[in-house]
Structure 1
Amino acid sequence: MDYREAGVNIEAGRAFVEQIRKNVESTFRKEVIGGLGGFGGYFEIPSGYKQPVLVSGTDGVGTKLKIAHTLDRHDTVGIDLVAMCVNDVLTSGAEPLFFLDYLATGKLYPQQLAQVVAGIAEGCRLSGCALLGGETAEMPGFYGSGEYDLAGFCVGIAEKSQLLDGTKVQLGDVAIGLASKGVHSNGYSLVRKIIETKGYSWDFCPDELEGKSLGEVLLTPTRIYVKPILEAMQSGLDIHGMAHITGGGIPENLPRCLNSNQSIRVRYNSWSVLPIFQWLAKEGEVTQEVMYDTFNMGIGFVVIVSPDTVKTALNWFTSQSIEAYVIGEVIEGNRQVEFYFDD
C-alpha cells in the first residue's frame, strides 16, 4: 500500500500550493522576506517604532462552515477567518502585519479549497496584512469528504506607549457602535438549530430579508474594521478603547476594554437591529436577553472616545461608509454592561 491508497494525495497537495501561489503573493507587504513554500515565513519588523510590541491573535470560523459546505459556496469563509483575527488584534491599537492559516480536510479538492484561500487572501488585502504562509492537512477518516475546518493566526504591531489596555478609558467616555454586516461568525449553532427545527431550507427567502435567501444573508462575511480605524488613529482621532463584538455579544465583549472600576450603560434602541436578527428571534422564540448574549445584533465593533471627540468620530466612519451610532457611556461599576431603554 501507499499513502494515496490511505487517502492522502501528495501530488494534489503540491499542485494546490501552486494553484494558490498567485493569490497568496498578492498580499505580500514590503517587509516579507522570501516566498511561499519554506518551513517558515520571514517578516522584517517595520521601521519607525521606538518600543515595538507584537500582538497576536487566533480564531476560527465555527459552524458557519456547515452552511458553506451545504451550499457548496466557499469564497467568503476565508474573509471571515481573517476578520475574526485581525479585528481582535486591532482592539489593542495594533496594525496587523501577517497572517497564517491552518486548513484541514478529509479529502483535498483543489478547486474548493482554492476558493477558501482566495477568500483568505481577500481578507488579508482588506486588512493590509500579508498572508505569510499556512498548512493544508489532508486527514481521511477524520473529516468527511468535502468537509474542512479552518483556523487562523495573526500578528500585529503597536508602539508600547500607545497600546490600548483600558487605562485610557475615562468615566463619561462615549461608546460608538460600528455596524456589522450581519451575523458575522458567531452564534451559528443557534442559527442552525432554529432553521433546522423549523424545517426551512437555506434557499428560503423570508419577507424580512427583502428577496435575499437565508443562505445568502448568513454567508455574508464578517466586516473588517482595520483600515478605517487605523487611518482614523493616524489622522489624530483619539480612541481610548475598542471592542470586537463576537461570541457573547455586547455583554461579554464590551467590558473587556474597560478599567476594573468601570462599567458601561448601553441604550437598547440607539441603533437599527438588522432584519436577520429580528427574524431569528421570532422564529426561534428567542428572548431578548439570549439574543444579546449570543449575537452582535447589528454592532460589530465599538470604539470608546471622549465626549468632545464624538462628532468627529461619527463623521469619519460615515465618510468610510460605515454606519456609526452613539450607543452608551462609561460609568462607575465592575466591568459590566447595563442595558436601558431611552425614555
Structure 2
Amino acid sequence: MFEISLRCFKCGRKYSIGSFFWCPSCKGSLDVEYDYNEIEKIILTDEFKRTPVSHWKYWAFYPVNTPSKAITLGEGNTPLIKSKMNSNLYFKYEGCNPTGSFKDRGSTVEITKALENNVKKALCATTGNMGASCSAYCAKAGIELTVYLPKDTPRSKIEQILSHGARVKKISGNYNDCLRKIHELKEKENYYLVGDYPFRTEGEKSIAFELAEKMKIDSVILPIGNGTLCYATYKGFQEFVYLGLYEKIPKIYGVQASGCAPVYKAWKENSEIKEINPKTKASAIAVGKPIDGEKAIFAVRKTGGKILAVSDKEISQAKAELAKEGIYAELGASTTYAAYKKLENELKDQTCVLIITGTGLKEK
C-alpha cells in the first residue's frame, strides 16, 4: 500500500512495483522501497499500538493493496522459548508456522501479491520448505503451482507439496539447477515465479518485528540458504529503528553448512559469491548460488556480525542438543545452535536469539 518502487540492490536502478523478479539490467536482487512518512501515520495510531502481535499487524510494512484480503493461514507470532541452559539464550521456533517453517511469513505476502496481480499459474524452485509453503498458500489462493525440486528432496516434503495439489517435477541436479529451469520457462512462456524474490523478503521481516516487540536483543543467529531471511531480519529491525520503534539493530550472525558455504567463503575472503555443488545433509540450506547472498553479507557487515560454517557432524550434534531443550529442529535450523556453541564465549553476556527455521518432522 505504501510501497514506492523496486530498487536493484546491486546497481541501484529503480523499477515500478510488480514489474520484475530481478533487475533486468544487471540481474541483481531487488528491494522494495516505501514511503515511511505514510507508514509512520499508521504505527502512531492507538489501533496499531493496541493490536496484539501477529504477522498481519504489520501490514503497513508489506507491499499489498488490500490487507483485509490477505491469503493467510495464521502464520507468525511463533514461540520465543528461553533456554534452560543459558538465561541469555532464546529460541524463535518457526516450526510452529502452518507448514512447519519460516517460509510461511514470506508466502502469505508473496501469494497475496500474486493474487492482486491476477496470477493463475506459477512456478517454484525449492529444496523442500519453499515448495511446501508455496503449495499451501497457492491452494488457498486458487493458483495452480508447479514445483521443481532435486530428486533427493526428503520424501515428507514432497508429500506435503503434493497434498496441496501442486505438481512436482524432480530434477537430476541441485536447487540451482531447478532455479535455472524455472527461469528458462519464465523467459519462454512468461510464467509467474514464487520463491525468494522481492515480495517474500518483505513478509519475512515480521520475525524482526515480533522480536522487537518482545525485548531488547543483542544478537541474532540464523541459517543462510538463499540469504533472504538474513537480509529480511536486518531490514525489519532497520525499519523499526528508523521509525523510533526500537533502539538498535542487533548483531546478525549467519551460518552455513561447511559442505555448502558459498556465502561464508565470500564473506571471509571479501570476494564475489561463486556457485558450488552442495555436499551436506542439511538439505534445507543446500543452495550453491544464493539469490540474496550479497544482501546477507551486507546485513552481517552492517550490524558487526559474522558468518560461520559448521560441519554436518556439528549440525547433527546441535540437533540432538536442541531436542534436550524440547525443540525438534531440522538439520538446516540446527546450524544456529552449532554456530552459537562456537560463539558462546563471545556472546555469553548478550541476549541472543537463535532462529529455528523449521521442524525436524520435515526430514523423514
The verdict on a shared fold, with TM-score over 0.5 as the criterion, is no
> TM-score normalised to the size of structure 1?
0.28
> TM-score normalised to the size of structure 2?
0.26
Larger relative contact order (Cα-Cα within 8 Å, sequence gap ≥ 6): 1
**Greater helix content:** 2
